[in-house]
């Protein structure tokens, strides 16, 4: 019974985060359309960054309030959900055609980002501690990688990106209001989620990293899920795959980078199991692109990815 009110407030916080992210993404995407950016570029940058805002806001609030244990678990869980569940469900709705530029640039960038955080988090092999920290210096390195990726994305375009239809830009007044309400929703949601996730972790006897890996990661990934599903129903592969790939890179480089600068992020050795699963998810995504006809993730491959996420959640809770 003592967990009922925190659960309710947590749910309200998640709703505020999702609405805030959606409003902010709509406003930012409208600006992107006015700047004549392609759908894939919008998906990899504006939409991906916008849908990563719930993770960023939750991590920032958690770090400021002395609960950095949520941070890495939140990102590993979110990125795994992005590939296995979100990409899987999107492919079930409509097979995802992966562009050449994504294969050459974005998928390798996701592998590099995942490998970088794995190396940073695992210097415990050289110490006797079971918990190590990702510190502010490593946070700056992650931020630099994220900025470099964004510059590469904007500067290096593929002519095929221009073949997908652009959405209509909103009027300037509506664009600005959408962004203002989006920022307000993210702030309110971040406060509610970070406060009540800590309370639930104590009440349920779970570690902050496990709460971040499961409950918080699932909820903060809902904007990515909604965005990719909507894109899949409109048969817009650029937004669907770009959102997932870009969001994963933003989560590691920008969100964890900023979080580590605020406060050192503890990484427990047992979290390596989830990191391995994330590597496997990245490998499966790449494998599925090159199997079957063309550079596509088919419906049956989407079904396999979705089942993989169910297994991931079971494993994460069983390891608690």
Using DSSP, state whether 131 is helix, strand or coil. Answer: strand
What CATH homologous superfamily does 4-318 map to?
NCX, central ion-binding region (1.20.1420.30)
Q: What is the pLDDT of residue 117?
A: 92
Inform me whether the pLDDT recorded for 59 exceeds 60: yes
Q: What is the pLDDT of residue 260?
A: 93
Structure tokens at 147: 């900025």
Length of the chain as a residue count: 320
Q: What is the pLDDT of residue 126?
A: 47
Segment among 55-59, 125-129, 244-248, 273-277 with least mean pLDDT = 125-129
What average pLDDT score do residues 211-235 get? 78
CA angle 185, 188, 191 (to 5 degrees): 145
Inform me whether the pLDDT recorded for 52 exceeds 60: yes
* pLDDT tens digits, one per residue of 265-302: 988 778 888 899 999 999 999 899 888 677 889 899 99
State the residue for tokens 């992650």. 142
Using DSSP, state whether 220 is helix, strand or coil. Answer: helix
* Higher per-residue pLDDT: 317 or 136: 136
CB 259 within 8 A of CB 59: yes
* pLDDT tens digits, one per residue of 86-133: 999 999 998 888 888 788 888 999 999 999 999 988 875 445 455 678
Using DSSP, state whether 268 is helix, strand or coil. Answer: strand
State the residue for tokens 């047992």. 270
Q: What is the pLDDT of residue 62?
A: 84
* pLDDT tens digits, one per residue of 123-148: 754 454 556 788 899 999 999 999 99
Q: Residue 235 — very low, low, confident or very high, per pLDDT cuts 50/70/90?
A: confident
CB 248 within 8 A of CB 83: yes
Q: What is the pLDDT of residue 163?
A: 45
* pLDDT tens digits, one per residue of 180-211: 898 888 888 878 887 888 788 778 777 777 88
276 contacts: CB under 8 Å, gap ≥ 6: none
192 contacts: CB under 8 Å, gap ≥ 6: 9, 10, 12, 13, 16
What average pLDDT score do residues 27-39 get? 75
* pLDDT tens digits, one per residue of 145-182: 999 988 887 776 555 544 444 457 788 888 889 888 98
* Higher per-residue pLDDT: 15 or 24: 15
């Amino acid at each position: 019974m003592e967990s009922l009110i925190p659960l309710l407030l947590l749910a309200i916080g998640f709703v505020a985060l999702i609405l805030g992210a959606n409003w902010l993404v709509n406003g930012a995407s409208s600006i992107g359309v006015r700047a004549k950016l392609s759908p894939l570029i919008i998906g990899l940058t504006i939409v991906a960054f916008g849908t990563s805002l719930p993770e960023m806001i939750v991590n920032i609030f958690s770090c400021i309030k002395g609960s950095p244990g949520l941070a890495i678990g939140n990102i590993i869980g979110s990125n795994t959900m992005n590939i296995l569940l979100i990409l899987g469900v999107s492919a079930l709705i409509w097979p995802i055609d992966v562009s050449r530029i994504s294969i050459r640039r974005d998928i390798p960038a996701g592998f590099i980002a995942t490998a970088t955080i794995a190396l940073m988090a695992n210097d415990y092999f050289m110490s006797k501690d079971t918990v190590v920290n990702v510190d502010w210096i490593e946070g700056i390195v992650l931020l630099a990688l994220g900025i470099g990726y964004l510059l590469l994305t904007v500067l290096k375009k593929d002519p095929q990106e221009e073949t997908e239809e652009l959405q209509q830009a909103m009027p300037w007044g509506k664009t600005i209001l959408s962004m203002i309400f989006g920022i307000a929703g993210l702030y309110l949601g971040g406060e509610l989620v970070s406060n009540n996730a800590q309370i639930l972790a104590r009440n349920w006897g779970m570690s902050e990293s496990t709460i971040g890996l499961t409950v918080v990661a699932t909820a903060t990934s809902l904007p990515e899920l909604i965005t990719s599903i909507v894109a899949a129903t409109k048969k817009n592969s650029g937004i669907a795959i770009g959102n997932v790939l870009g969001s994963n890179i933003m989560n590691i480089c920008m969100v964890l980078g900023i979080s580590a600068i605020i406060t050192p992020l503890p990484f427990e050795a047992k979290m390596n199991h989830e990191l391995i699963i994330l590597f496997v998810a990245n490998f499966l995504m790449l494998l599925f692109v090159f199997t079957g006809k063309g550079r596509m993730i088919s419906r049956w491959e989407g079904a396999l990815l979705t089942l993989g996420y169910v297994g991931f959640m079971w494993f994460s809770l069983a390891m608690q």
